[in-house]
Amino acid sequence: MQDKPLNLVWMRRDLRLHDHAALHHALKGPGVIQPVFVFDTEILARFANPLDRRLTFLAQVMLDLDSELRARGGGMLVLHGPATEVMPRLAQALGAAQLVAAADIEGPTRARDASVAQVLSGITKMSLVKDAWIRHGGAVNKKDGTPYHVFTPYAKAWRATLTPEDLAERVVEDKGRYAHVAALRAKAYAAGLRVLDLSQGLEALLEQIGFKKADITHWGTREGEARLHRFVETRLKNYSHDRNMLAEDGTSRLSPYLRHGLVSVRECARLAWDRPGAEGWVNELIWRDFYAMILYHYPETATEEFLPKFRRTLNWRRVEADFEAWKAGRTGYPVVDAAMRQMQEIGWMHNRARMIVASFLCKHLRIDWRLGEEHFAQHLMDYDLASNAGGWQWAASTGTDAQPYFRVFNPTTQGEKFDPEGEYVRRYVPELGAMKGKKVHQPWGDAARGSYPAPIVDHASARAEALRMFKEVA
């Protein structure tokens, strides 16, 4: 078996075995295939919390993939170490003919892939295919070939130039095509690579990478497909209205599954396409492509303002106590606090709530959007650099948004509009549990608010100060 050419499939944002561009590509040629995942120590170093939910989620996904692959005659090969070194060493130790992976758009990841390809040049062919976005980085451009900076014309061009191939399933016909995984694990181990043992279960796997088991009850690793089907069949038709209502389960909550590729974004679009409500939802998938396109063309916008006039010119405040109150969900603005506590509790926050809390941090507290971006990066199950930096810059008015900086959300009226019965606030802010209806959005001065804090800033004066800060440099 091992005499046949070996095709390694390096999985990253595509942790599934169906509609899979890299597997599809590897299976087109001769020989056997072997899926590989690396717990990259350079990425793990950024996870501050040993109980990070995402590592439990990923470790469980590895066990799931391994068991699915065993049923198909293969198994997962999971390694631990700096991927830039591990992958070339693995490919050489196993004498791989080809290394296939899905291309990324993030600057450091592209640099990592280029370095791996360079080390392997002349030894193992490295092939990058497209999988994680429907339209990749450079696929949709203006007529003059330059990138779009505004979403609406981008979305129009995205739809006008979409071809059936963009949404087509990348079929995985893998029967009898897997390499002998035990032999490959032994060879990799003999070459000095850190091959992780998947046979002892979740906690043992996490221990091998220095993490502990966290609560992921809200995010079943095998639920992605069922969630997608349920959403498309029951919720999609009302999406355009329900998507803004904070207490409703009106959105798909597929973002962690899309982030790690447990569901295929092409399948999302295919399933939704002709159904009532699809236009609004597909628009969100286009937003996902849009922010990925922006980061692809402008990698510096991960940390620098997209609009040159605001690049490091805004006079942000540095008030630790305010930042801590925002993080802890103790700002005295119920909808802001409910949202921040939702993220702490389940590792996810409603989109409307993300817009409200991000606006509150940047405008009401005048705290640098980069600090908020980093806080989200530590807590969101769906954390994705392109969408997060894009969303934060949108809220800070420093990004691609066509709206001027004087949009400042009023957190009280936002709460009253998008949580009219106050259910969302009561769910996450138990101190306000006794208050009825929408009164919960203005609890100040009411004895029933108990230990709930008074507002840390006054809306009207905070708004005026924010406008002054922007006007100074606009």
Ligand X SMILES: Cc1cc2nc3c(=O)[nH]c(=O)nc-3n(C[C@H](O)[C@H](O)[C@H](O)COP(=O)(O)OP(=O)(O)OC[C@H]3O[C@@H](n4cnc5c(N)ncnc54)[C@H](O)[C@@H]3O)c2cc1C
**How many residues does the structure list for the chain?**
474
**Residue among 324, 350, 363 at smallest CA distance from 415:** 350
CB-based contact 285:266 (threshold 8 Å): no
Query: Is 315 considered catalytic here?
Result: no
Q: CA-to-CA distance for 4 and 473, rounded, in angstroms?
A: 64
CA atoms within 13 A on the CB side of 1: 14
Query: Is 351 considered catalytic here?
Result: yes
Query: Is 85 considered catalytic here?
Result: no
Which token pair is 398? 């420093």
Our CA dihedral for 469, 470, 472, 474, rounded to 10 degrees, sits at 170
Using rule CB under 6 A, residue 380 touches ligand X: yes
Which token pair is 18? 């169906």
Q: Which stretch binds ligand X (CB under 6 A): 59-67, 198-206, 353-361, 412-420?
A: 353-361
At 276, give phi and psi (nearest 5°): -60, 135
Q: CA-to-CA distance for 410 and 126, rounded, in angstroms?
A: 51
From 287, 326, 348, 394, active-site residue: 287
Q: Which of 387, 398, 400, 414 binds ligand X (CB under 6 A)?
A: 387
User: Least distance (Å) from ligand X to the CB of residue 154?
Assistant: 12
From 106, 225, 284, 431, active-site residue: 284
Q: CA-to-CA distance for 126 and 137, rounded, in angstroms?
A: 20
Q: Which of 123, 383, 448, 463 binds ligand X (CB under 6 A)?
A: 383
CA angle, residues 60, 82, 96, in degrees to nearest 5: 85
Q: Which stretch binds ligand X (CB under 6 A): 197-205, 215-223, 354-362, 463-471?
A: 354-362
Q: Which of 12, 54, 288, 366 binds ligand X (CB under 6 A)?
A: 288
Q: CA-to-CA distance for 99 and 14, rounded, in angstroms?
A: 15
In the shown chain, the binding pattern of residues 393 to 432 toward ligand X, with x for contact by CB under 6 A and - for none, equals --x-------------------------------------
Q: Which of 34, 244, 255, 414 binds ligand X (CB under 6 A)?
A: 255
Query: Is 284 considered catalytic here?
Result: yes
Q: How many residues bind ligand X (CB under 6 A)?
A: 27
Classify the C-alpha dihedral 130-133-138-142 as positive or negative.
positive
Using rule CB under 6 A, residue 291 touches ligand X: yes
Q: Angle at which helices 351-359 and 385-396 pack, to 10 degrees?
A: 50
Residue nearest to ligand X (CB): 391
User: Least distance (Å) from ligand X to the CB of residue 316?
Assistant: 16
Using rule CB under 6 A, residue 56 touches ligand X: no
Query: Is 273 considered catalytic here?
Result: no
C-beta closer to ligand X: residue 177 or 288: 288
At 66, give phi and psi (nearest 5°): -60, -45
CB-based contact 5:98 (threshold 8 Å): yes
Q: Which of 384, 408, 418, 466 binds ligand X (CB under 6 A)?
A: 384
In the shown chain, the binding pattern of residues 162 to 201 toward ligand X, with x for contact by CB under 6 A and - for none, equals ----------------------------------------
Using rule CB under 6 A, residue 382 touches ligand X: yes
- Footprint of ligand X (CB under 6 A): 243, 251-255, 258-259, 284-285, 287-288, 291, 351, 354-355, 358, 376, 380, 382-384, 387-388, 391-392, 395
* Active site residues per annotation: 284, 287, 316, 351, 369, 392
